[in-house]
Amino acid sequence: MDTPGLRMDAIKVAKVDNVVYRGNDGPATGCLHLTAHHLIFTDSSSQSEKWVPYPLISLVTRLPQTLTGSSPLALRCRTFDSFVLFFPREESAADVFESVRELTVTSSISSMYAFFYRPNPPFDVSDGWGLYSPREEFARMGVGSRTKAWRFTDINKDYSFCPTYAARLVVPARISDTVLTHAAKYRSKARIPALTYHHWANFATITRSSQPMVGLTNSRSIQDEKLIEAIFQSHLNPTSAFGGEVKPKPGQPVVYGATATNLIIDARPTTNAMANVAKGAGTEKMEHYREGKKAYLGIDNIHVMRDSLARVVDCLREADMLASSLQAGENGQSGVVLLDRHALRKSGWLRHISAILDGALLIVRNVHVNSSHVLVHCSDGWDRTAQLASIAELCLDPFYRTFRGFQILVEKDWLAFGHRFADRCGHLSSEKFFITASGDVGTAPGGADAAQAFFASVQKQFTGQGHLKETSPVFHQFLECVRQIQRQYPTRFEFNELFLQKLHYHLYSCQFGSFLFNNEKDRRTAGPEQSKAPWERTYSIWDFFNDSRNKPEYLNPEYDGSLDDPARREPGADMGVLLPNPRDVRFWYQLYGRSDEEMNGRIVVNQAVGAEFLGPVENSFEDPVLPDESESDLTSLAASSESISRTSTPSLPTMQPEPVRSLPAADSAVSMHGQSQTGSLPDLVHGQGTQNFPLPRTRTPQPQPRGGLQDVFAESPGTAMRSLWASVSSGARTAASAAQAAYGGVAKEISRNLASGPLEGEGELAERTAPTYTPYQHRAGASRTAPPIGVDQNPWSDPISARPPPQVPGSSHEGEPQVSAFASLSINDPTIALPSRLPRTPTQDSATFSTRAAHSVIRPSSQVDDSCVTVGPIGAPPAPISISEPVIAPAATEDNGNTSLSAGYDPLGVWANG
């Protein structure tokens, strides 16, 4: 086991006298001490000490010598504190710089201060590691007593089922461990949906998981679907372990309109979800999860959050540099310097905080107001998922706002569910955070020593910096969100603002073992060369806070627990459920060591816009992430149609998207609200370049039940509903766009041949064979007929003005027998690759489509598979071209005995907008 003595060899100098300290708290002169785990500065006049743990150091810069001959070192900490140390000799500054770098950059967590820390005097409480008991906490929620629809499982007792989950999980009682084993294969990192909160006021729940492994092939898992179905039905019969809907007794009235609005919350932006689809993961296809709907929150990933906080830190650093340059007089007092609040707004930090709060508020409303279930996930389910679930529980349950309850909340939703503290906090640091400013000659070694030092630094650079990409202030964001709610409700929290500040400090100090590891397995199991597990060798952070000498400092004197009594009925009572305002967010100026006026000033409203909700999504036609069935078919044809797509054909004019009209069909699916779901066929929008985006499927607006999902979105402050395709990235559709371009090339060739005739065509199709057309042979029950049109009225190439007027019911032709006036198009050229059949969904079968070419009168057909799309005139019949299977035509609806197509049907997406 490591001992402190092993780190002492990295210290080149242990003590330096006559060091000048200059920081935000004023200048001082004293002595600098370097120990195995701390940098300590002692003020000679006041004898006060400033202790800085090495993991707390985020940046060390060796600056050039000053005009007075001093050698400065500038240090920045993860607590947003910065100071400069001026050394009388350059050699001392170089030794301190090298020593701090060797002591900060380490390759093992076991060398951290937590493994050597021994409090003196000892803490009077030592139950921090056993503070959270899953059985006791979920029993407090009512699992096993108020409801029997949930059970504990030991399937992960040895962490072999899911290494990043806790040993004990809570799952639906009707789901066996065998089903869980199969469902784990469908979830990223085997992080299956598991219970994290059961609401006290009803039987609504919050569950969390990772993303499903859908991929480009639209994979599905029956076991995963049954698991989520059991979760969403757990409230129907809570007294039974088998769940299911309770059948009303004879004579008992049936209550209608009590349908739950269960939600699957995908915290990611749609572009991130689409990128994961290409990697084999993705998001749920809601046709397979009929018990709920889905919503995207648009919360950015860890890299965006890291860059946003870095911009805030840059603003603070620039303000400190300006303050240092404007020091006035010999007393060292600096003038008043305000931060660049415009640069702070551009960082987007408050916008991210507002988005997280807005997403949590959606969960709170759906659980408490709608009495419905919520499943939350992002990609792996340990970053944004932990933020949303824990903040929602903080608002829903007054227990989590107590001093002990908040500690249990952190243990349950962050530590037990596997937030990667070691990766996100970057405890191991890196040499890239130790830099030498230009102009400093330094005391670099020469000869062989210089070469050895160079190769050592190169080796560390390639082997020790990969973890920096995983760092992100995820837990820091959670603390800031708690502070925003605490500021809006100052009497509803038992702990004060200083408690959150101290928790943020020990997040990076590595003084306790709570935040050193990525999951419960790493904390609870001993390593190959260790006799004890880390939790047995370190102290918990809660031992420090619960100590009788420290606890009073972190209690809120304004706390009033009676306000959380659910039995209160006076005006302003909220049953203990908080609904924070996501737009009322401000910088946590105490954490950044600044004043409220300096960081916030007049609050800027437009930087707190809330989450960019996208939903509710009920099926894949409304989902911008999952590929459509037709798109999947086109993608599979990209390789076979490559030769045709490369032909030099004239491009079609740019077309504007047209909304698709849909009417209810007899066999329309019924949603969970008892509303008919109607489908529609999208147009393919040809924009600039080669990027083609399918429009979202539109459906007839349906009335929402009171308290339904629309109310959740509408009542949420700060909600900014965006267009369904506003966030779709063009880069994520490259594969589908290429296939559509290839398919469009075939349509262009056909269009040119139809426009110019068989003898004048110069395209590839005309050169291969002389195409001819044979009249379509009428078959009973499967014909598609339309009035004749000429070559100059071809709908693919001619403007709308040249098309014949549609046949109006009641005209002179209404009673005449209909004759087949179109010829069947069939392609028999083996060199041309076209889709033999476009996939048809039940929604397409039941929908009503339209055509822009002409008003056709069609007889009803019982065999849609035998139908044939007919194009072209029959005036000069050319040679026939045949295909192996007919292209499926849309289902038709009857109107006064006749079957007709309304204007707007465009299966290839190449007709001009009429």
Binding positions for substrate: 276-279, 301-302, 378-384
Instruction: Give the whole-angstrom CA distance, residue 848 versus residue 664.
Output: 8
Contact 738, 637 (CB under 8 A): no
Instruction: Give the whole-angstrom CA distance, residue 543 versus residue 128.
Output: 5
3-state secondary structure of 755: helix
378 is catalytic: yes
376 to 490, 612, 891: CA distances (angstroms) = 28, 16, 38
Instruction: Give the whole-angstrom CA distance, residue 700 versus residue 703.
Output: 10
Full DSSP string of 214-279: -TTTT---HHHHHHHHHHHTTTTSTT-TT--PPPPPTTPPPPPS----EEEEE-S-HHHHHHHHHT
3-state secondary structure of 900: strand
Residue 315 CA to its chain's centroid (Å): 27
Contact 264, 224 (CB under 8 A): no
Instruction: Give the whole-angstrom CA distance, residue 431 versus residue 450.
Output: 17
908 to 217, 681, 798: CA distances (angstroms) = 22, 11, 16
Pair of tokens at residue 62: 């060796």
Pair of tokens at residue 690: 């080669």
**Do the bridges between strand 38-43 and strand 49-53 make them parallel or antiparallel, or are there none, so unpaired?**
antiparallel
3-state secondary structure of 285: coil
Instruction: Give the whole-angstrom CA distance, residue 550 versus residue 403.
Output: 13
Give every CB contact of residue 579 below 8 A, 6+ residues apart in sequence.
361, 364, 365, 395
Give every CB contact of residue 258 below 8 A, 6+ residues apart in sequence.
none
Output DSSP code: residue 651. Answer: P
Phi/psi of residue 6, each to 5°?
Answer: -70, -20
Helices (H), 376-488: 384-396, 403-410, 421-425, 447-463, 474-488
Contact 53, 425 (CB under 8 A): no
3-state secondary structure of 670: strand
Pair of tokens at residue 571: 């005006």
Instruction: Give the whole-angstrom CA distance, residue 422 versus residue 110.
Output: 12
Pair of tokens at residue 282: 């993705």
Phi/psi of residue 562, each to 5°?
Answer: -70, -20
Instruction: Give the whole-angstrom CA distance, residue 732 versus residue 273.
Output: 10
The angle at the Cα of 178, spanning 174 to 179, to the nearest 5 degrees, equals 55
Contact 142, 198 (CB under 8 A): yes
Strand partners, 77: 57
Q: Pick from 734, 737, 747: which is nearest to 652 by CA? A: 747
Contact 261, 370 (CB under 8 A): yes
Single out the catalytic residue among 77, 378, 425, 868.
378
3-state class percentages of the chain: helix first, strand second, coil last, to nearest 5: 35, 15, 55
In the numeric block, the tokens 């079609």 are attached to 652
Contact 880, 873 (CB under 8 A): no
Give every CB contact of residue 234 below 8 A, 6+ residues apart in sequence.
147, 149, 150, 172, 203, 205, 243, 373
Q: Position 588: which residue type?
A: W
**Residues annotated within a binding site:** 276-279, 301-302, 378-384
Phi/psi of residue 761, each to 5°?
Answer: -65, 135
Please give the positions annotated as active site. 378
